[in-house]
Amino acid sequence: MNDDAEFRRDIDEITADDTIRSLKEQLSDSTFKSSTRILILVLLSLARRMSSVQLRSLTGLGKGSLENHLNKLESFGYIKVSYTKSMGARGVARQTVEITREGLEVCQKLLRSIKSLNV
């Protein structure tokens, strides 16, 4: 078998794979059009709840950029953002971000699909 035919067979096997189809479908969700939103969901899947300061530190995002991503994730129902008054000297509201059950399920499904590829 020549290299082109072998390559074509490999591509056909990949495109016929149910895992690839499932992954393609999951990644077509506008939430996953951003690697940053995927990272935020993965971080929250690990910790379940984080402050926006912690998320900014771990993602390297600025305040405004993080807010945009959080707003998008919250609009999909994947996270819940809440505010609590800090007991510090300035009494500033502290933003806490928590992953929802739906967000956790979506993230876990995506990670299972990727893991099952055995790459």
C-alpha 94/C-alpha 87 separation (Å) is: 10
Distance of CA 117 to the CA centre of its chain: 18
- Out of 1.20.120.1200, 1.10.10.10, 1.10.40.60, 3.40.190.10, the CATH code matching 3-115 is 1.10.10.10
Q: Read off φ and ψ for residue 83, nearest 5 degrees.
A: -125, 135
The domains of the chain are located at: 3-115
The pTM for the full model equals 0.77
Top pLDDT among 19 and 34 is at 34
C-alpha 85/C-alpha 95 separation (Å) is: 9
The fraction of the chain above a pLDDT of 70, given in percent, is 81
CA angle 118, 21, 109 (to 5 degrees): 65
38-96 pLDDT, tens digit each = 999 999 999 999 999 999 999 999 999 999 999 999 999 999 999 987 666 566 788 99
C-alpha 106/C-alpha 45 separation (Å) is: 10
